[in-house]
């Protein structure tokens, strides 16, 4: 399996996952305070949206890469 096919498959999978889920979330550690024996920590949940056009573009480019790699 050559590199072009691997990249094409990865782009198709990422495009599919982006279209299905529409984004992903992660937790960011923002503030921390230690006051004597007490410890406080503030976490914020961040959400990153993946635009539908980016998912579609990833699917198309991955398909093109797969189609051109089969000809070689």
- The string of pLDDT tens digits covering residues 11-61 is 999 999 999 998 889 998 888 888 888 888 888 999 999 999 999 999 999
- The tally of domains found in the chain comes to 1
Q: Write out the residue range of the structural domain in which residue 33 sits.
A: 3-71
Handedness of CA 34, 35, 36, 39 (dihedral sign): negative
Give the count of beta carbons closer than 10 Å to the beta carbon of residue 11.
20
Predicted TM-score of the model (pTM): 0.70
- pLDDT of res. 72: 54
- pLDDT of res. 6: 92
């Amino acid at each position: 399996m050559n590199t072009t096919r691997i990249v094409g498959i990865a782009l198709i999978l990422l495009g599919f996952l982006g279209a299905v889920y529409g984004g992903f979330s992660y937790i960011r550690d923002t503030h921390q305070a230690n006051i004597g024996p007490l410890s406080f920590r503030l976490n914020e949940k961040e959400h990153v949206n993946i635009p539908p056009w980016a998912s579609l573009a990833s699917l198309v480019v991955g398909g093109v890469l797969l189609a051109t790699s089969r000809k070689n």
